[in-house]
Amino acid sequence: MNKVNMPVKIGSKLVKNRSTYAPTVKFGWTDTSGIPTERFARHYEDRAKGGTGLIVVEATCVSPTGRLAPSQLGLWDDVQIDGHRAIAEACHKHGAVVLVQIHHGGYNTHPECGPSKGPSSVTWREHQTEAFTHEEITAIRGQFIEAAERAKKAGYDGVQLHACHGYLINQFVSPAFNTRADEYGGSTENRGRFGCEIIRGIHKACGSDFIVSARTTGAEPTLDEAWSIADAYIDAGVDYLQVSSGIGPEEINYPEGLPYNSIVWTGTQMHCHVKGRVPVSVVNGILKPEHARYLIDNGLADTIDSARALLADPKWTMAVTEGEDYVRCRNCKVCFWSPFMPHKCPAVAERHKNDPDCVDFAG
Ligand SMILES: Cc1cc2nc3c(=O)[nH]c(=O)nc-3n(C[C@H](O)[C@H](O)[C@H](O)COP(=O)(O)O)c2cc1C
């Protein structure tokens, strides 16, 4: 059997192949209620129908005051559960395992949603932030756990902590942007404490069968430190790691001539460090089926995480696993600068010509 088609055990679930859908926010598909509309269920169902083994539903906020945009999905209120149930059921119908990414913007909170607050009072992207008090940290940890409980009620197989890309959990991990002097700052152990407490709290509240994943950083600011944080997450009970970028460093000194980029490389190094304790996924710029297969066939990762390739074509997984034809992501990066991706993505526009009902197209 082709290695990308080999099932992989993630927590309590058997995922049917090695192709996973990375989280991708779709701002503007709902209103300020944060309730998923039917459009989300159709979007994720298309990726499940296309054979994707595991789907991570996009960054979903645990608190209205931690949102990245006013129209971000939420799991801070019970009224949001039914919309999420529709997503989970739509994916399960086609045999996908489905997690939802739980998120808090911290310093990156949208000004219409809340103050720019995180672990410390620092200069962040040219503005001054405020530090959360100890009581506020305890409350936000509780919001992550309550969001996971709602995710379980909605029928998701688990949650993923958004612990990379400079958001709240990553801000705690970063020595540059966490200058606390209490048990949440200083040593690597202390900086990883917030994430670990959330992981333990979710397993306690939702049971050990409920998958807890972390999307963590491959270098923060060094590979060694990122590995120590990942070790702490694994000790706390994390079931699955997806490795992406964090806040720092600016440059990674990585070997030249590899058929993948530095972010994927940090993922392969994490995979090597973790040594099978939990499955590890790599991401970034894997836009050709042969690249995805190369990483799996050579034992460099356990799963391949795709965002733009699966935005461009919900059947991308079939290209990876069966060699079928697919609509290519042009790597134009328009979607990176506009999370309203479907408005401008040329691949989606191409697809829309053949499929006028294409849910991703917005005119
Ligand atoms: C439109 C868009 C939305 C994204 N939203 C999220 C998100 O909600 N959570 C997250 O961790 N990463 C998010 N990302 C990052 C992707 O998951 C992924 O790491 C990145 O696009 C690189 O992978 P790719 O080359 O396969 O696209 C987003 C990326 C794009 C293009």
Spot the catalytic one: 107, 156, 167, 233: 167
- Which pLDDT tens digit goes with each residue over 304-336? 999 999 999 999 999 999 999 999 999 998 898
Ligand 1 centroid from CA 294, angstroms = 21
- Residue 218, φ and ψ in degrees, nearest 5: -80, -15
* Nearest residue to 355 via CA among 42, 87, 21, 51: 42
299: its two tokens: 């034992």
> Any idea what the CATH number is for the domain that residue 101 is in?
3.20.20.70
The answer to whether residue 270 sits within a structural domain is yes
Contacts of 111 (CB under 8 A, 6+ apart): none
Q: How far apart are CA 47 and CA 299, in angstroms?
A: 25
Q: Which atom of ligand 1 is nearest to the CA of 263?
A: 22
The answer to whether residue 313 sits within a structural domain is no
User: Which pairing describes strands 97-103 and 158-162: parallel, antiparallel, or unpaired?
Assistant: parallel
The answer to whether residue 148 sits within a structural domain is yes
Does the pTM of the predicted model rise above 0.85? yes
- Residue 240, φ and ψ in degrees, nearest 5: -160, 130
Strands (E) in 36-163, as ranges, are 54-61, 97-103, 117-118, 123-124, 127-128, 130-131, 158-162
- Which pLDDT tens digit goes with each residue over 33-90? 999 999 999 999 999 999 999 999 999 999 999 999 999 999 999 999 999 999 999 9
pLDDT in the model for residue 150: 99
The answer to whether residue 19 sits within a structural domain is yes
The answer to whether residue 249 sits within a structural domain is yes
44 is catalytic: no
- Which pLDDT tens digit goes with each residue over 159-182? 999 999 999 999 999 999 999 999
User: Which pairing describes strands 303-306 and 280-283: parallel, antiparallel, or unpaired?
Assistant: parallel
- Pocket probe mutation, ligand 1, options 20, 24, 71, max atoms within 8 Å of Cβ: 24
Domain of residue 274 covers: 3-278
The answer to whether residue 340 sits within a structural domain is no
Residue pair 101/147 in contact (Cβ under 8 Å)? The answer is: no
The answer to whether residue 193 sits within a structural domain is yes
Number of domains composing the chain = 1
Collapsed DSSP state (helix, strand, coil) of residue 274:
helix
